[in-house]
Amino acid sequence: MRRAFCVFAALQNDTTVRAVSKMKLMSNFKEWKFKYPPNYAELPIDENPAYNEPVAVKNAVFSKVPTEPLTGTIRLVCASEDALKYLFDLDPSVAESEDFINFVAGKYQPPGGLSVSHRYGGYQFGFWADQLGDGRAHVLGEYVNGKGESWQPQLKGSGETPYSRFGDGRAVLRSSVREMLASEAMVGLGVPTTRAAALVVSDDHMVWRDKTYSGRAKQERAAVVMRVCPAWYRLGSFEILDKRKEPDTMKTLFEFIIKYHFLSIDSEDEDRFVKFYTEVAHKNLDMVAAWQGVGFTHGVLNTDNISILGVTIDYGPYGFIDHYYGSYVPNTSDDLGRYAFDRQPQILLWNLEKFALALEPILPEDQKQKIKEVQATLEEYVKRKVLSTYLLKLGLKEIQDGDGALIEDFLNLMQDTMADFTCTFRQLAEVDLKDLEDVSKLETRWSLTKIREGKGWGKWVERYRQRIEKENVSEEDRRSRMTAVNPVYVPRNWMMQEAITDAENNDFTKVRFLLELFRRPFEVNAEAEKLGYTSQPPSWSYGLKLSCSS
Ligand code: AMP
Ligand code: MG
């Protein structure tokens, strides 16, 4: 029997909560065990004992590598209650225990674990970068929870591996806080993502980082984030095997992934290649459409940062748009704006094209042809997905003639008036359509007050009103549909920056508060309102960008 599981299930739904509340959560972490052997033990694993020296690994999908634990006094920064409960069957109080903290710090390995780093390559900013791999990450084992779901915890920042190249195998607190918060916020926002279970920092394990690439490196504290996913394969996992001419290993990896991670595809099906390609493509394009809907810009859409499972992976210099502009680029290293907000769907298509090429060595001729046919449909597929996402944000479910222009004109109005992406949509859900042009009714709706100054706003509102009528959506339905998909809160860089500054002084209150807030980003939260999280972002945060230094 094939198990069914969902990578990013909205975990707060009633059925899951009821199922879990009946299940006994473990409160003694020493009882928590991995399944042995983990499924990935079936794949070729390199066992070179010189694990912490850079090496071009051959004929393997993983390297067996022990973690290099964080040293010094370790503190728990935060833990995701939902991840612990719903993925790991753990009582959240476990997070405070020494064993659990040691687990996240790479010091304690529960029974049944097998610590490995994954070998992959990738196209970085359009160019083949050869072997990359987990240079500071270790997959620890496979946990099968009480619901039968399989989850693999992975440490990030846990020491050197054969893939470390010139890096030190570590991660710093600021980037780890950002990864932790975004991963869990995406779950609340309904966007497919890897998860994050917990984050620890050392008081005295220091690393050097040049945060702004200014030539002035500083010491920062090392941290480790525990990420969780059913599997960690990327487009680049196949690409390295193509470039290094290892078709047998690629075939093994392919059959393995079908068997364990693409349960809807039969291992005997002759069409499994094209089915696999289509599913990887569709999942990733669904994901990018979801990103566009919440104003998320990944920042580094290299093929090594694209998951085979179609979940958002590797949160680095990402950004959620504040005031809207299509060419928003959060990453200081992306001079040409290759990975700008409005280019993301196109970039995913480019990446998927490379992926089809990488698979060629294992494709039977007819499958090659069929994949080409699928490829020809992908641009239209993602266009419609993005359009539907925006229509839904406006309270509409059908796609009708002229909708593309309706959306484009709305985004242009936002851009011209520097209206806020998240707040404009949300505030549009909060007022009656008939009040939209009455400034006295807009009160605290500051973003709507901005956009209404745009040239052609009145005409746009009229078109919108007619479009709503054409689909026969009542005002009540429009507003409730819109409130369900337009979040009140997203992890804005400025909010996280404040939390990071506190965390660097060992005050984790704000990080923990944000983690809690993003569990329900569609609900107004009194405390968040006091902190100004739906007000205009502070002037100091304008144009805030991030570097890849992490
Ligand atoms: P990223 O930009 O985070 O996706 O990383 C690109 C590649 O660089 C991956 O192979 C990472 O494992 C590697 N990498 C990033 N930072 C470090 C580090 N501090 N030590 C070793 N490898 C790293
Ligand atoms: Mg990466």
Q: Are residues 113 and 159 in the same domain?
A: yes
10: pLDDT strictly greater than 90: no
Q: What is residue 172's predicted lDDT score, i.e. its pLDDT?
A: 98
Over residues 389-427, the pLDDT tens digits come to 999 999 999 999 999 999 999 999 999 999 999 999 999
Put residue 157 in one of left, alpha, beta given phi > 0 → left and psi -120 to 50 → alpha. Answer: left
Length of the chain: 550
Over residues 91-127, the pLDDT tens digits come to 999 999 999 999 999 999 999 999 999 999 999 999 9
Q: What's the predicted TM-score (pTM) here?
A: 0.95
Q: Are residues 478 and 507 in the same domain?
A: no
Amino acid in position 314: D
Q: What is residue 152's predicted lDDT score, i.e. its pLDDT?
A: 98
Rounded distance from Cα 313 to ligand 2 centre (Å): 8
5: pLDDT strictly greater than 60: no
Q: How does DSSP classify residue 83?
A: I
| Residue 255 within a domain | no
Q: What is residue 21's predicted lDDT score, i.e. its pLDDT?
A: 52
Over residues 148-160, the pLDDT tens digits come to 999 999 999 999 9
CA distance 231 to 540: 39
Q: What is residue 22's predicted lDDT score, i.e. its pLDDT?
A: 62
Over residues 198-240, the pLDDT tens digits come to 999 999 999 999 988 888 999 999 999 999 999 999 999 999 9
Rounded distance from Cα 298 to ligand 2 centre (Å): 11
Domain's final residue, options 178, 207, 234: 234
| Ligand 1-lining residues (CB < 6 angstroms) | 132-136, 163-164, 167-170, 300, 305, 314, 316, 548
Q: Are residues 124 and 92 in the same domain?
A: yes
Which residue has a Cα nearest atom 18 of ligand 1?
167
Q: What is residue 19's predicted lDDT score, i.e. its pLDDT?
A: 56
| Residue 506 within a domain | yes
Q: What is residue 214's predicted lDDT score, i.e. its pLDDT?
A: 86
| Closest approach atom of ligand 1 to CA 169 | 20
Average pLDDT, the chain: 94
Report the b/e string of 120-140 with b at 16+ CB within 10 A: bbbbbeeeebebbbbbbbbbb
Rounded distance from Cα 311 to ligand 1 centre (Å): 19
| Closest approach atom of ligand 1 to CA 316 | 3
Q: Are residues 201 and 228 in the same domain?
A: yes
Q: What is residue 539's predicted lDDT score, i.e. its pLDDT?
A: 87
Which residue has a Cα nearest atom 7 of ligand 1?
132
| Residue 329 within a domain | no
Average pLDDT for 356-379: 98
Domain's final residue, options 181, 211, 234: 234
Q: Among 231, 210, 228, which Cα is nearest to 219's?
A: 210
14: pLDDT strictly greater than 70: no
Tell me the pLDDT band of 444, cut-offs 50, 70 and 90.
Answer: confident
Q: Are residues 458 and 530 in the same domain?
A: no
Q: Are residues 470 and 523 in the same domain?
A: no
| Residue 450 within a domain | yes
Q: Are residues 479 and 500 in the same domain?
A: no
Pairing status of strand 116-118 against strand 62-64: antiparallel
Domain's final residue, options 191, 209, 234: 234
Average pLDDT for 137-147: 98
Q: How does DSSP classify residue 303?
A: G
Pairing status of strand 218-229 against strand 74-79: unpaired
Q: Are residues 191 and 221 in the same domain?
A: yes
Q: Are residues 163 and 24 in the same domain?
A: yes
Q: Are residues 144 and 42 in the same domain?
A: yes
Q: Are residues 185 and 63 in the same domain?
A: yes
Count of domains for the chain:
3
Rounded distance from Cα 168 to ligand 1 centre (Å): 9
Tell me the pLDDT band of 367, cut-offs 50, 70 and 90.
Answer: very high
Q: Which domain holds residue 205?
A: 2-234
Q: How does DSSP classify residue 90?
A: B
Which is the catalytic residue, given 82, 242, 304, 420?
304
Q: Any catalytic annotation for residue 168?
A: no
Q: Are residues 150 and 10 in the same domain?
A: yes
